[in-house]
Every structure is written in C-alpha cells, then in structure tokens.
Amino acid sequence: MLKKSNLMIPMKDGIRLATDVYLPSVDSIFPVLIKRTPYNKDREKDLYEIEAYVNADYAVVTQDVRGRYHSEGIFEPYVHEEEDGLALYEWILKQPWCNGHLGTFGGSYHGGTQWLCAMRGPEHLDATVPVITFDDLFDGSAYQGGAKVLHDLRWTVADIIPDIMRRAEEAGERVDVEAPEVYHCLDRIPLASDPAVKKYARYYLDWMNHSVFDDYWKQFSPKLHYSEVQAPALNISGWYDIFVPSTLRNYRGMRDHGGSENARKYTRVIMGPWTHMNFSGKLNEFDFGPEAGDEAINLLQIKIDWYDHWLKGKPMSFDPEKPVRIFVMGINEWHDEPDWPLPDTQYIPYYFHSSGNASLENGLLNTEKPSEEKEDVYIFDPLNPVPTIGGQVILPGDGAMGPRDQRAAEKRDDVLVFETEALNENLNVIGFLKAKLYVSSDCTDTDFTVKLTDVDENGVSKLLSDGILRMRYRNSMEATELMEPGKIYGIEVDVAATANTFLKGHRIRVSVSSSNFPRFNRNSNSGGLIFSEEKEQYRKAENVLYHDAEHPSCIILPVIREK
C-alpha cells in the first residue's frame, strides 16, 4: 500500500484541506472510495477499514474537513461539506490513478458528508454507504420531537472544542467523554451560558437559536432531496443508535423518491443490535448471541461487495428482492425482508388502563378500548428530571447507551407505567412505533415522553425504544404554539422503531413521563425561551394523561404474525 500524506487541496475559495491518498500500486488506475472527517484522518482505528479497501484494489482518499486538524479554515459543522466535498470529487477525477468511479464511506458525521454531496447528484458518484447518520439535521439529530437532543453538546465539548483550542495554540487535549466537564455542560442552566461553547463553538448557539425547522436547517436535510440522489445507498445502523428513525427513513425515501432507477430499486438497509459506537452485539448486561456482531456477519465484506458491484461491475452478492436485513431481538435472529416497513405489518393499538394511579402495580396495557376510567396526574419538576438510563443515545460512557434495565426510573412518582399480562405466545413487534396520547397541563408548555420495554420473567425491564414531544411543537416543527392550561390535547409521540420478539411469559411495558435527561434538555414549563432561562424561571407542571372512552390513549405496535 502506497500513501501520500497531507496533500493540501484547494477549495473554491482558496482554503486548503489536508488530504491523504492510499493506492494499491503506482502503475494502474482504480475506483476511489472517499471519507471526509472532522475526527482526524490519521486516526489509527480507521486504518483497518482503509487497508481492507486498498487490498480489494480501491484507491482510498481521506480528508480532514474544513477547520479540523491539518486543514485550513474555520469549522462550521456541515456548512461547507457540500461545496468542499464536491470540490474534492472534482480533484480526484483529474488524478491519473482514478478510473472515474467514486464511492463514499463512513459513519455519523462522515455519513452526513456523504448525503450532503450525494443529494446534488454528482455524475461520477456510483454508490454510498452512510452509516449511523441523519436524514434531517433538525428533527433527526439536533432536535427530536421539538426537544433539544444533547448528544451534540457532549460532542462539541469532548470532540470539537479541544481541537479548536489546539489550533488557537491554547491547551486543548481531547476530553474524555466521561470527564466532569462533559456532565457539567449538559446540566448547565441556562444551557446557552457555557463559556467554552460561547467562545469556541458559536455554531452551537446558532443551533439553539434556530429552534424550528427553518431555512437554516433545510440546507442540511437529505430528506428534501432524495429525488436528486443518483447513487444507491447501503444504509447501516443499530436499534440503539440515535439515528434509528433517520436510517430507516433514508431507506424508505430513497426507495420511493430516489433520483435514478438504481437508487429506487437497489438502495438497502441493515439494522443490527448495535449502538452508535458498539457493533459487537454485546451491550451492557445483554448479549444478543454469537451472530449479532458486525464481525459475525462480515459487515466489512458486505460493504466491499457493495462497492464491487457498483464501481467494478461485479455480480450482486445480495438478493435484490430482499433489500432489508434486520436483526430481530428476543429471538436473536437475522431476517432478510422484502421491504420496510414489513409488508405484512398489522398496526395494533395497545390501550392504557388504570384507576388513576398508574404504576408498576396498577397500570394495565391491552387491546381493549377503555370505558370510564380516572385520569392519571403527576408532577413534573424539571429540576428533578427522570434520568436517562440507556437507550438510543450518544452520552458519556458506552454504558449509557443501549438496552438498560428501566426499573429504577419506573419506580418514580412522576412516571406512569402500563404493562400487559404475561404473554401466552411470542409476539413479533417490528416497525415504527407511535403513541397516541390525550394530555393536559397547568402550564403553557411541557414535554411528554414514552418508553417501550420488554419485561422478562425476572422482572428486568429492558429498554427497546423511546420518544418525546415538546408540546409547543405538537402541530408543526416549523412553528410553535403554546398550550392553553387545562385544555385536553390529542397528540402523537414518535417512539422511533424496533425489531423485537416479546417471548412467551414476557410482558410489554410502556412508561409515560415528561423528561428523559440528559438525552433531551429539560422543559422549563414556562413557555419561554428555554435555552436562556435562569433556574428561577423553571416551574413545576401538573401533567395529566387521560385514558377513557373519549380519550383512548395507546401505543400502536407494528405486529408481525407468525406464518
């Protein structure tokens, strides 16, 4: 393998970006695989994948994005990625070692750089592999259900600011994700007052100031541009990644609206029992079996085979009639399916019942519509929020991600709990999840959260998926509307997606509350500008969940019957 390091490639405005080129040899031409990164192109842990591609006779080009590590300029997340990425493509196509065929790879931010270029339909881009990434930077990464997702604040403090400080010749060693300053920045009130963010990462203030889906966010929204994407995409994520809904929506959007026949017909998706950072299939205390990990299914070879077909013209190694590969938890099996959502899905409402005190002992969940039942009332104190315990998160420490036992949270007075009787047979729940709630509050704004868990015979309540809705966004993500205190509202809460078989003897459990912190920022309940409010402006909310004949609150489960 031959390497050319730190080539300084000029962009349209003259800023030069540091670029490495890896070649199998000097005497031939090759298809080229590209990754653009804010995380340092010289990271040793990335070399294994690069070497695999070079050994498969690909040239590989990696580049530090603008303002990061060896590249010139100022880092503004995603702002320059489309223009700079396309400029890199143009440069590569002029090189004597390039045969005119391009592919892209990488996850998270790298996946975003792929989409932002692909949605402009560059002629020579033949295939992409976006891993664990967004379909819309607003309601898919920075926000969810209108609540601010705080993983990007952790990212800013732990990953981005240290390099900005280093470039400014200040002390800037990379911060460990479990360092006290990471936790402190997430807990700060007002959230916008962090001095390091204000000095070194003013883009994050922009993200807070643009708290609706406006033109600022639309420029970073692949979902608005599927019809311009020519290259088929191999989408990859895990059931415990923050980008579960985004990955599945990218698959669906490309199959329906892709800009070429190949994009519509051959885009694929793979979903494993993985988090944003752990593809081993062993998450916390839960082991999904010997076939669950990326190495067990040879995910790297799957990627190489994908490129081999689209960039080299080799036969397809995958069944085009089964473009969806999902790992079904519970039974711990890989399934190849014809589409997503699965064609035989039945959407079955499971209704909430209680005598007005839904708890581990009182709340019931079943398919019978409620009649006359007393509503559930609880007090939400944003200064004592329900703690995040695992889930589809990117928070300090890998132990914070993935399936975790939720019983500690479910015992709280501000958490309503509803569960089925022990199941008489296995129940397959595979698809997007949605809760329909009827709620009120004595405040003009508040949040409602929903969690779905699988409870085994020992009582362990394993988290599967969760969601949130900030009430001011109940009608639109493009404009806010406060509540009328005491008025009952019917709302829908997206609870992401899962693929899980609830085994015979297990129970389905749903918990409803108003916080999940620090996965999401806390709602002050004041109806004001939450990011700039002082602690004294935070107030408690008396929130109400209704479940009666007129207000049949439920979660809608995507059920696949045994054939």
**CATH number of the domain bearing residue 298:** 3.40.50.1820
Residue 513 lies in a domain: yes
Q: Are residues 57 and 198 in the same domain?
A: no
Residue 19 lies in a domain: yes
Q: Are residues 163 and 131 in the same domain?
A: no
Q: What is the CATH number of the domain that holds 480?
A: 2.60.120.260
108 counts as catalytic? yes
Chosen domain end from 175, 210, 245: 210
* pLDDT reported for residue 26: 87
CA proximity to 559, closest of 489, 499, 496: 499
Alpha-carbon gap, residue 104 to 183, rounded angstroms: 34
Contacts of 331 (CB under 8 A, 6+ apart): 426, 501, 503
φ/ψ region of 475 (left if φ > 0, alpha if ψ in -120 to 50, else beta) reads alpha
Q: Are residues 282 and 242 in the same domain?
A: yes
In this structure, the number of other CB atoms found within 10 A of the CB of residue 170 comes to: 11
Alpha-carbon gap, residue 482 to 480, rounded angstroms: 7
Alpha-carbon gap, residue 337 to 319, rounded angstroms: 10
Q: Are residues 397 and 431 in the same domain?
A: yes
Q: Are residues 235 and 284 in the same domain?
A: yes
Q: Are residues 373 and 483 in the same domain?
A: yes
* pTM of the predicted structure, to 2 decimals: 0.96
Q: Are residues 272 and 390 in the same domain?
A: no
547 counts as catalytic? no
Q: Are residues 39 and 63 in the same domain?
A: yes
Handedness of CA 409, 411, 414, 418 (dihedral sign): positive
Alpha-carbon gap, residue 399 to 104, rounded angstroms: 30
* pLDDT reported for residue 233: 99
* pLDDT reported for residue 164: 85
Residue 223 lies in a domain: no
Number of alpha carbons in the 13 Å side-chain half-sphere of residue 238: 27
SS (H, E, C) 276-302: CCCCCCEECCEECCCCCCCCCCCHHHH
Alpha-carbon gap, residue 427 to 508, rounded angstroms: 10
Using CB atoms within 10 A of its CB, is residue 146 exposed (0-12), middle (13-18) or buried (19+)?
A: buried
Residue 361 lies in a domain: yes
φ/ψ region of 73 (left if φ > 0, alpha if ψ in -120 to 50, else beta) reads left
Asked if residues 548 and 490 have their Cβ atoms less than 8 Å apart, the reply is no
Pairing of strands 143-144, 427-441: unpaired
Residue 524 lies in a domain: yes
* pLDDT reported for residue 562: 83
Residue 468 lies in a domain: yes
Chosen domain end from 308, 337, 366: 337
| Candidates 225, 276, 309, 353; catalytic one | 276
Residue 331 lies in a domain: yes
CA proximity to 498, closest of 462, 452, 457: 452
Q: Are residues 172 and 300 in the same domain?
A: no
Q: Are residues 159 and 267 in the same domain?
A: no
Residues of the chain with pLDDT below 50 are 172, 174-175, 177
Using CB atoms within 10 A of its CB, is residue 491 exposed (0-12), middle (13-18) or buried (19+)?
A: middle
Q: What are phi and psi of 258, to 5 degrees?
A: -50, 150
241 counts as catalytic? yes
Question: In Å, how far are 4, 28, 33, 100 from 25, measured between CA atoms?
Answer: 12, 7, 15, 17
Residue 215 lies in a domain: no
Q: Are residues 58 and 147 in the same domain?
A: no
Range of 191's domain? 143-210
Q: Are residues 278 and 322 in the same domain?
A: yes
| Candidates 64, 136, 241, 305; catalytic one | 241
- How many domains does the chain divide into? 3
| Candidates 71, 108, 354, 511; catalytic one | 108
* pLDDT reported for residue 177: 47
* pLDDT reported for residue 399: 55
